[in-house]
A and B are shown apart, each in its own frame.
Chain A
Amino acid sequence: MIVLPTIPYNTLVVAAGVAAVGFAAGVVGSLGVLRKRALVGDAAAHATLVGVAAAFLMTGRRDLPALLLGAFVAAVGSLGVLVLLRRVTRTRDDAATAIVLGVSFGLGITLVSGITARGIPGGAGLEQFLLGHTAALTASDAVLLAGVSAAAVLLLAIGLKEATLVAFDAAFAAASGWPVGMIDYALVTLVAVMVVVGLPAAGAVLVTALVVIPPVAARQWTDRVTTMLVLAGCFGLVAGLVGVGLSAAVPRLSTGPVVVLVAAAIFVVSFFGSPSRGWLARWRRQRAVAQGWAEGRIIEAALHAMQASSSGYFTRQSIESRLGTAVAPGRSSTMASSRAWRGLLLRHAIEPAPASEASVLATQSSQGISLWRLTEQGKAEAVERARRLALWGDVLAVASGDARAFLTIDLPPPEAVLDAARLHAIRAAVAASGP
């Protein structure tokens, strides 16, 4: 029988509570991120300190529900001030956010420092709200946090359709008669609620990360809102749990920074590793496209070179002069072209001339230049490519209206392909034959 290390009941309950907070913050934050309101919560988060300090001064005790209520009032108040600044002053949105954030945090620091300096009993612990510290939580505190989190998730679930609509197309929602302003306010208030209940876990300075990083990480994995919400919730849950665990294990380590770093690690993995939107996958796809394009150009040039030469072989030099870029590795070749050359070799589309023939032909070409030819497969590929290009040419010539449907913005600018006089003539011809 395995003996489990005994974890105190209180620690377990606190961990569960913080996990619930992390989950809810991820879920609620997802809509905030989708609505591009990621940093609005930050101003509210910094303002919570004022509410915490004020609530402490009023009640005289470090009673979590009261402190969080104060924090919530301050958070909503700061958002109100933000709206007011935008309405009645010329100050732009970003500056208004920074003003509310900086000044309210300064006020919070002033109050907390004043309380500490006066030696009011219990006041020293208020600094824990700066960076988060879960060790001081009791089981009933954790139940409160979990309860509020559950309520927030439930509210969001009820209004999910409306919130999604506003997040993705506010103009359409407004035109369809939805009260976009109300929905926005509700959403921002929910974010404020999560910022407040996230305070013990992450602290005023970093709690924004709880509502931003897990959603942004989740966004990398999916294009569906519900999937994103659940994923973001799970990421937040993991970050919260690990943060609580580590800060309990390591002395003096605040919870907030650890939570953020765990969330950031999840984000980094998601950002690079996700199979659909991940940076690596995207980079690989782009490279494959570039390589395919380069391979096509090489075998096309190779076919022409073979047909042009009497021997039926081609040299790298002839290809390079046709393409205008170096293709052999090791020289001033573009990466894509040299990879393409290797790719063609690997899949056996080109091959070096057999040694017997090469020695014969070596007299004809200068020394040290190797000869190549297309394999049967390579030839078939080149012919097929030529056939497609020719066919497209015919389509463009005869039924350009049909071809137009396939025009993409990836085409090079016409000026890069045709000279100005030719383009001018084409335009003139179109204008003459126009309707």
Chain B
Amino acid sequence: MALLVSEWGAMHAWAIATAAVVSAGCALVGTLLVVRRMSLVGDAISHAVLPGIVLAVLAGGRPGGVLVLVGAVAAGLLTVWLTQFLSTQGGLSEDAGTGVVFTTLFALGVVIVTAAASRIDLDPTCVLYGVLELVPFDTVEIASVNVPRAMLTATVVFLLLASAAWLTWKTQVLTAFDPDAARAVGVPVGFVTTGLMAATALATVASFEAVGAILVVAMLVVPASAAELLVHRLHHMAFVAIALAVAGAVIGYMAAWYFNTSAAGMMAVVLGLEYLVAAVVAPDDGILSRVVRRLGLAWRVLCEDRLAAMWRAEEAAAIQPATASTDAPASTTSQVRSRGFSQQLALRWLAFSGRIAAVNGGWKLLVQGREEAGVIVRSHRLWEAWLGRHADLPLDHLHPPAEWVEHHLGASVRNRIEADVGRQVSDPHGRTIPPESEVKGEVEA
């Protein structure tokens, strides 16, 4: 930190701290907005607080002062109320109503700012994307330290939001996930929602000087959405969102300084990158883990199919060597000898892991491989038998579904199917179903 302060100067540190606190407040509110599917309401409110702020400033409030906070919250609630009025009283769809209300209010704010630019301390550019770089210049002295006014406002608002969230968390969770149940146990759902809207307006106005009216939506929604991909519990989501938001603020500011560009814009870009990374690496639903899971499954199926094909070839040879190729499904013996790269790879792995062994140009099953292959074949034939009995499919339609299901049946399911179809010794094609006692091993992926 000392290094940071000395190299960047206290001003940059203050700007970063302000950005971090502001982003943290937005991320906290955004968490609830995102899980309640109200992201676009947040967008609308963040645009529409502008006229409230401008009018409050015209009425003598100063940026970051109480009057401005009140004006912004009033404008935010007016947006929500107007949108609801348009949809209930005028039959407008929600998105159309939102589109009308927030563009109009924002335009109104911009026009007033432009018209009164000489009289008020607000710049149209600042309105659009904030001037984080200028935040450290407007300070108040607290305990002989010059604290930026925006930092002070942001901290107060953050503490307010955090304590409100802390105190009402259970209610918020219940309202977000099951509003009907919440209503049934006496939660004033409408009031809670209005409170969330007011909180959104507060978070927005606290961020106003730092990031402007439009980029707030990124601060609100992006960290929360990234957190939602990473974790599965709401309070974890809130903490992760805040951490991501703070990281985004710090990295974004530094990157903006390095590239000599808008800090607010860069913060939004960094948050976007964080979301991208979360979407790729998220443990359960991430793109990467899904790809890995699918590849793993594909690999298991590939190996198991090789084993099963060899098992069938052995079976055919044992019954009648001369007609081996016609007994099993026509493809199996040729597949054993197949030269496809992935299949070769699978065979090498099976050999390496001690399931099969090479014998004069071909392969033969070892004990473990035979057991595992038996499981697959047993599953396959049991499923065919079960389909043949229950699904009323023609004989030649039994193979494809079984080819798919064979990789997914556990021992208990196999035994239940066997109980259902009876201990018949052959499948609908007339081939023997190997009994469980012969194939006891479970296949390991």
| A212–B106 alpha-carbon span in the complex (Å) | 15
A279-B92 CB under 8 A given contacts A39-B98, A113-B261: no
Per-residue B-contact encoding for A201-242, CB less than 8 Å = 1, 0 else: 000011011001101100110000000000000000000000
Q: Which among B90, B217, B269 is the interface contact of A107 at CB below 8 angstroms?
A: B269
A38-B99 CB under 8 A given contacts A107-B268, A110-B256, A254-B114: yes
B89 with A205: CB separation less than 8 A: no
Contacts of B224 in A (CB 8 A): 95
A106 with B100: CB separation less than 8 A: no
Q: Which among A39, A89, A208, A252 is the interface contact of B279 at CB below 8 angstroms?
A: A89
Per-residue B-contact encoding for A103-139, CB less than 8 Å = 1, 0 else: 1011111111110011000000001001100000000
Contacts of B279 in A (CB 8 A): 85, 88-89, 91
B104 with A114: CB separation less than 8 A: no
Q: Which among B110, B214, B275, B285 is the interface contact of A99 at CB below 8 angstroms?
A: B275
| A183–B125 alpha-carbon span in the complex (Å) | 39
Which B246-285 residues have C-beta < 8 A from chain A? 256, 259-262, 264-269, 271-272, 275, 279, 285
B90 with A110: CB separation less than 8 A: no
Per-residue A-contact encoding for B82-98, CB less than 8 Å = 1, 0 else: 00001001111101111
| A113–B212 alpha-carbon span in the complex (Å) | 14
Contacts of B124 in A (CB 8 A): 131, 254
Chain B proximity of A416: nearest CB distance (Å): 22
Chain B proximity of A101: nearest CB distance (Å): 6
Residue of B nearest to A261 (CB): B107
- Judged by a CB distance under 8 angstroms, whether A410 is at the interface is no
Q: Which among B43, B98, B261 is the interface contact of A114 at CB below 8 angstroms?
A: B261
Q: Which among A103, A106, A130 is the interface contact of B264 at CB below 8 angstroms?
A: A106
Chain B proximity of A87: nearest CB distance (Å): 10
Per-residue B-contact encoding for A242-254, CB less than 8 Å = 1, 0 else: 0000000000111
A89 with B285: CB separation less than 8 A: yes
A92-B37 CB under 8 A given contacts A103-B218, A113-B265, A216-B96: yes
A99 with B272: CB separation less than 8 A: yes
A279-B89 CB under 8 A given contacts A95-B225, A106-B268, A109-B129: yes
- Judged by a CB distance under 8 angstroms, whether A313 is at the interface is no
A107 with B100: CB separation less than 8 A: no
- Range of interface residues on B (Cβ < 8 Å): 35 or more
Max chain A C-beta neighbours (<10 A), residue from B34, B103, B267: B103
Contacts of A99 in B (CB 8 A): 218, 221-222, 225, 272, 275
| A264–B102 alpha-carbon span in the complex (Å) | 11
Q: Which among A39, A107, A206 is the interface contact of B265 at CB below 8 angstroms?
A: A107
A206 with B107: CB separation less than 8 A: yes
Contacts of B39 in A (CB 8 A): 92, 94-95, 97-98
- Judged by a CB distance under 8 angstroms, whether A257 is at the interface is yes
- Judged by a CB distance under 8 angstroms, whether B77 is at the interface is no
Q: Which among A103, A253, A267 is the interface contact of B100 at CB below 8 angstroms?
A: A267
Q: Which among B34, B92, B97, B269 is the interface contact of A106 at CB below 8 angstroms?
A: B269
| A208–B262 alpha-carbon span in the complex (Å) | 24
| A256–B104 alpha-carbon span in the complex (Å) | 11
- Judged by a CB distance under 8 angstroms, whether A55 is at the interface is no
| A33–B94 alpha-carbon span in the complex (Å) | 11
| A205–B110 alpha-carbon span in the complex (Å) | 11
Per-residue A-contact encoding for B22-41, CB less than 8 Å = 1, 0 else: 00000000000010011110
Chain A proximity of B412: nearest CB distance (Å): 32
Chain A proximity of B377: nearest CB distance (Å): 36
B265 with A106: CB separation less than 8 A: yes
A109 with B262: CB separation less than 8 A: yes
B268 with A39: CB separation less than 8 A: no
Chain A proximity of B299: nearest CB distance (Å): 22
Contacts of B129 in A (CB 8 A): 109, 113
- Judged by a CB distance under 8 angstroms, whether B128 is at the interface is yes
| A37–B98 alpha-carbon span in the complex (Å) | 12
Which A4-63 residues have C-beta < 8 A from chain B? 33, 36-39, 42, 46
| A110–B256 alpha-carbon span in the complex (Å) | 8
Chain B proximity of A80: nearest CB distance (Å): 15
B40 with A39: CB separation less than 8 A: yes
- Judged by a CB distance under 8 angstroms, whether B240 is at the interface is no
Contacts of B256 in A (CB 8 A): 110
Residue of A nearest to B275 (CB): A99
| A95–B43 alpha-carbon span in the complex (Å) | 10
A102 with B222: CB separation less than 8 A: yes
Contacts of A37 in B (CB 8 A): 95
Chain B proximity of A395: nearest CB distance (Å): 34
| A279–B91 alpha-carbon span in the complex (Å) | 10
- Judged by a CB distance under 8 angstroms, whether B111 is at the interface is yes
- Judged by a CB distance under 8 angstroms, whether B215 is at the interface is yes
B43 with A101: CB separation less than 8 A: yes
Q: Which among B107, B110, B214, B217 is the interface contact of A264 at CB below 8 angstroms?
A: B107
- Judged by a CB distance under 8 angstroms, whether B418 is at the interface is no
Pairs A-B, 4 closest by C-beta atoms: A106-B268, A102-B218, A109-B265, A103-B272
**Interchain Cβ contacts under 8 Å between A and B, 8 examples:** A38-B95, A90-B229, A98-B218, A102-B221, A110-B261, A111-B261, A209-B104, A257-B107
Residues of B within 8 A of A (CB): 34, 37-40, 42-43, 86, 89-93, 95-100, 103-104, 106-108, 110-111, 114-115, 117, 124-125, 128-129, 214-215, 217-222, 224-225, 228-229, 256, 259-262, 264-269, 271-272, 275, 279, 285, 287
